[in-house]
Amino acid sequence: MADDPVKECCRLIREARAYWDAHHNAACRRARTRALQLYNTLTEEQKARIPQVLRVWLRYRSEKYFGPQRTRSKRKRAGE
């Protein structure tokens, strides 16, 4: 991990956004989960240093696409 947790959190959010744009959902989920875990350890002052566009993306994607209320895929998985 980088020395500066704010920089690392921004990097992880940008990485998740790049995976999202490329439709790599599993990789996006992994990067977003790591970013969210790190984000939740930051102080309020550190959170304020993260650009708003990144904070909004993290929160929006977390709630809309990765939250418990999300619509499940209709595709059958192996073993079902």
Domain count, the chain: 1
* Domain presence at residue 80: no
* Domain presence at residue 20: yes
* Domain presence at residue 39: yes
Q: Rounded to an integer, what distance in angstroms lies between the CA atom of residue 19 and that of residue 40?
A: 21
Tell me the angle at which helices 5-21 and 52-64 cross, rounded to the nearest 10 degrees: 60
* Domain presence at residue 28: yes
pLDDT digits (tens, 9 = 90+) for 21-66: 998 888 988 999 999 999 999 999 999 999 999 999 988 766 656 6
Q: Rounded to an integer, what distance in angstroms lies between the CA atom of residue 20 and that of residue 2?
A: 23
Q: Rounded to an integer, what distance in angstroms lies between the CA atom of residue 80 and that of residue 70?
A: 20
* Domain presence at residue 43: yes
Q: Which domain holds residue 35?
A: 5-64
pLDDT digits (tens, 9 = 90+) for 56-78: 998 876 665 666 665 566 666 56
Q: Model pTM?
A: 0.75
* Domain presence at residue 77: no
